[in-house]
Amino acid sequence: MCKKIVWTAGIFCFILSLLPVTAVHAADADKPYIFGLLLVGPYNDRGYSQAHYDGGKYVEKMIPGSKMIYIDKVNPTDRPGVTIPQLADDMAEKGAKFIIANSDDMKDGIREAAVMHPDIHFVHCSGDDVLTGKAPKNLSNLFGKMEYAKMMAGFTAAMTTKTGKIGYLGPLINEETRRLVACFYLGAKYAWENVLKKKPEDLKFQVTWIGFWFNIPGVTADPTQVAQNFFNTGYDVIGSGLDTTENLTVAKQKRQEGKSVWAIPYDYEGACEGAGDVCLGVPYFNWGPGYVQMIKASMAGNWKSEWRWLGPDWKDINNHDSSTVGFVKGPAMSPETQKALDAFVNDLGAGKVNLFKGPLYYQDGSVFVKESETAADKQIWYMGQLLKGMDGQSSAK
């Protein structure tokens, strides 16, 4: 996930870079195959990091003899002064032969670690080092096409709203977060205009960015307050790009006050638990299958440096063995919306509906996708602005 925070490498890291690299050889048959996870948040955050942690547990289940080690809360606030190469060194000393970094703010550090440990295979979940040619041969990129699940979330939001006002808690602003909130909007726009047959100008969509993937008091905007502001000004459905579930918590409070409001969290399949009366559903990551494929390739000597952007299994988007992204329906989703969503998902999978087909315009009126053309993967990946019809900042000021 793209999480842009600058890491400051200390003198310790510089000294380490001058030391010879010790090769880590393949494990003996009677020794476990150790792989490591570096998680930006708590391993049990019921969000992005827990989805990765669960993916690691899936690897242990599917690959006999594999063993996961992990370090969570890998961010400058929770671990000030600690660098990614230091943490990779620690995992290497513990026998890790494969290391996964789950946050884009780890990009520079995990690249440096890969250079220092050429006999360990590294995966950066997010990022584009392979695309830009910066990746050493032992580093790959892996991500899921969450764009489709966000479209499903936006579709659900538009089918549910009574006021026509949909809010979105944005984390920080970068290419990933822009394209994901834009896809949420595209799904909402499609439902509003093509299913509900309502006027485009009657749909209001606002994204408010807090500045990071979760609340850091004194550093980010308070997502609880942002959610309160949305609900207090007539927005009745709030989506989220955060690793945490403040939109659900606030929605539940407002429901107890008698207001008809709903929320759609993000990242983790089980995020609706405890908030069933307001939770419409969850677009979530399922990292296990991608992890298994890449670790098996490493173990078999078939590793290659590659950029992998894996889509849903359209035969069953919630198949834990095959679909990298999914959307689970929440208890608060109406039967009518469930039926409409099923049809929408089927049409997406069959190619009958393509929300990346032009014409699509940026906020400033410039062309994102020309008429009758369809955006290519790299064009979507590097989306430069929010889209026309969306309210909110397209770039950090």
Residues in the chain: 397
The residues of the chain that CATH labels 3.40.50.2300 are: 11-144+287-310, 146-281+327-381
Peptide bond into 283 cis (omega under 30): no
Residue 34's Cβ-side half-sphere holds a number of Cα atoms within 13 Å equal to 18
Longest distance between any two alpha carbons in the chain, whole Å: 66
Local structure of 371: helix, strand or coil: strand
User: If we measure between CA atoms, which residue out of 194, 213, 212 comes closest to residue 203?
Assistant: 194
Name the strand (E) or helix (H) holding 166: strand 165-170
| pLDDT, one tens digit for every residue, the chain (397 residues) | 444 333 433 433 333 333 333 333 344 457 899 999 999 999 999 889 999 999 999 999 999 999 999 999 999 889 999 999 999 999 999 999 999 999 988 999 999 999 999 999 999 998 899 999 999 999 999 999 999 999 999 999 999 999 999 999 999 999 999 999 999 999 999 999 999 999 999 999 999 999 998 999 999 999 999 999 999 999 999 999 999 999 999 999 999 999 999 999 999 999 999 999 999 999 999 999 999 999 999 999 999 999 999 999 999 999 999 999 999 999 999 999 999 999 999 999 999 999 999 999 999 999 999 999 999 999 999 999 999 999 999 998 7
Q: What fold does the segment set 146-281+327-381 form as a domain?
A: Rossmann fold (3.40.50)
Cα-Cα-Cα-Cα dihedral of 292, 293, 295, 300, to 10°? Answer: 130
Distance CA 166, CA 185 (A): 9
Distance CA 161, CA 205 (A): 11
Are β-strands 360-361 and 367-369 bridged in parallel, bridged antiparallel, or unpaired? antiparallel
Phi-psi region of 324 (alpha: psi -120 to 50; beta: other; left: phi over 0): alpha
CATH of domain 11-144+287-310: 3.40.50.2300
Q: List all residues 6 or more positions away from 4 whose beta carbon is below 8 Å from its beta carbon.
A: 104, 105, 172, 174
